[in-house]
Structure 1
Amino acid sequence: MKKTIIKLVAVSTLALSLVAITAPQSKANAATTHQVKSGDTFWIIGKKYGVPVKTLKSTNNKTSNLLFVGEKLVIPQSVTTSEMDLLARLVHAEAKGEPFAGKVAVASVVLNRVDSSLFPNDIKSVIYQKDQGYYAFTPVQNGTINQIADASAKAAVKEALAFRGMGKGSLYFYNPKTATSTWITSREVTITIGDHRFAK
């Protein structure tokens, strides 16, 4: 009886060990897929998952915008959930009360900085970057970045991610009514949306 119990414990332990070893590997190998439905476009799918349309197309070897109902697309991971949340909190703090397009443009500035050789190469490092003891973004300096992002800011981030790499390459934004830096106002203006002027 004692030998049987020991065998059962040993077998159970071995089984649990195998599950623990194999489960993370199978999870890591499982790619996110999307089955195309009627009305889907690369833009709609890109916004849904927060993935650049360019990346979505290249990952699936697509050279045109043609999609077929029922086909499966591989959805590459663009940014992590925590990065999306951080970016949405920045957008919420920086562009509260601004038009939706202005919120998308603020998120795009951060993504453009990530893609630029002039700035750090990840969202968190760009948002928390310091220059001469000051953070690049006011909400980081004053703590409002810690406020929960609203639905509009979250949607703006997903739209900016889908649009990534297709805009005018804005790297800065400021409010011309309150800006005191002559350097920022000397930058080439790309677009003005609401109270914000975007530049590169």
Structure 2
Amino acid sequence: MKNVKKLLVVSTIALSLFGFNTQSKAASNHVVKSGETYWIIAKNFGVSANSIKSANKLTSNMLYTGQTLTIPASTISAADKDLMARLVSAEAKGEPYAGKVAVATVILNRLDNADFPDSIKAVIYQKDSGYYAFTPVQNGTINNAADADSKKAVTEAIASRGLSQGSLYFYNPKTSTSDWILSRQVTTKIGNHTFAK
């Protein structure tokens, strides 16, 4: 009995330390409460607002208290969220919160783009000409634990998935040595990073 209690305590602590909402992967229903928006519901369930609209065949941004929505199954695992958060934490250390969300959005935009790999892990660990696409993978800082803001930024990027300006790249213009990246169309600038597609 002691071993069962220890296992239960350790499992509970592990889930609480992980820091991500671990909603079930199966589709479920949700009754809209007063003040809720698609974005709030999406964040709570770890899915995109667009996927909720699509699953319910809705085009309006209006929600009504008491309305029942089908919440689609999450397509991003807790392990992938953690990997994204660790990359965001390493790439956007010292950057504003909006920059952290934008870095997470780049990962999701690459996942949704046919020119990039079709899994989060493959996007993050993509290699070209002997170099990884992301510096923290190259230098190992991706192996450090993510901070709370980076975890929150990943959740926000997932909820907003499909609503961005389509950024596929980001760089620091003060330190970048690539002429190619400077030729890409700039979508926005946040902190020290320039985002482009």
2:68 maps to 1:69: no
**Mean Cα displacement is larger for which, 55-64 or 87-96?**
55-64
Counterpart contact for 1:46–1:53, Cα < 8 Å: yes
2:108 maps to 1:91: no
Aligned to 2:20: none
> Among residues 23, 29, 33, which one is paired with 1:33 in the alignment?
29
In 1, Cα distance between equivalents of 2:64 and 2:36: 9
> Among residues 51, 70, 90, which one is paired with 1:55 in the alignment?
51
Counterpart contact for 2:25–2:75, Cα < 8 Å: no
> Among residues 96, 121, 124, which one is paired with 1:124 in the alignment?
121
Q: For residue 64 of structure 1, what is the amino acid of its counterpart?
A: S
Runs of 4+ in 1 over 6 A off after TM superposition: none
Counterpart contact for 1:93–1:144, Cα < 8 Å: yes
Gaps of at least 5 residues in structure 1 are 1-27
Deviation at 1:49, TM superposition (A): 2.2
**Mean Cα displacement is larger for which, 141-150 or 67-76?**
67-76
**Mean Cα displacement is larger for which, 106-115 or 76-85?**
76-85
**Mean Cα displacement is larger for which, 69-78 or 99-108?**
69-78
Q: Give a deviation string over 1:25-55, Cα, whole Å, max 9, x none.
A: xxx9953333321110001111222211111
Which structure dedicates a bigger proportion of its chain to helix? 1
Gaps of at least 5 residues in structure 2 are 1-23
Counterpart contact for 1:50–1:158, Cα < 8 Å: yes
Return closer, same or farther for 1:94/1:66 CA change in 2, 3 Å cut-off: same
Counterpart contact for 1:49–1:158, Cα < 8 Å: no
Aligned to 2:40: 44
SS of the counterpart of 1:176?
coil
Aligned to 1:14: none
Counterpart contact for 2:101–2:157, Cα < 8 Å: yes
Aligned to 1:13: none
Q: Give a deviation string over 1:36-80, Cα, whole Å, max 9, x none.
A: 211100011112222111111111222212222233322221311
Structure 2-normalised TM-score? 0.83
In 2, Cα distance between equivalents of 1:52 and 1:121: 17
Structure 1-normalised TM-score? 0.82
Aligned to 1:199: 196
Superposed CA RMSD = 1.6
SS of the counterpart of 1:105?
helix
Q: Give a deviation string over 1:58-108, Cα, whole Å, max 9, x none.
A: 112222122222333222213111111111111011001111110111011
Aligned to 1:187: 184
Aligned positions, number: 173
**Mean Cα displacement is larger for which, 44-53 or 190-199?**
44-53
Q: For residue 99 of structure 1, what is the amino acid of its counterpart?
A: P
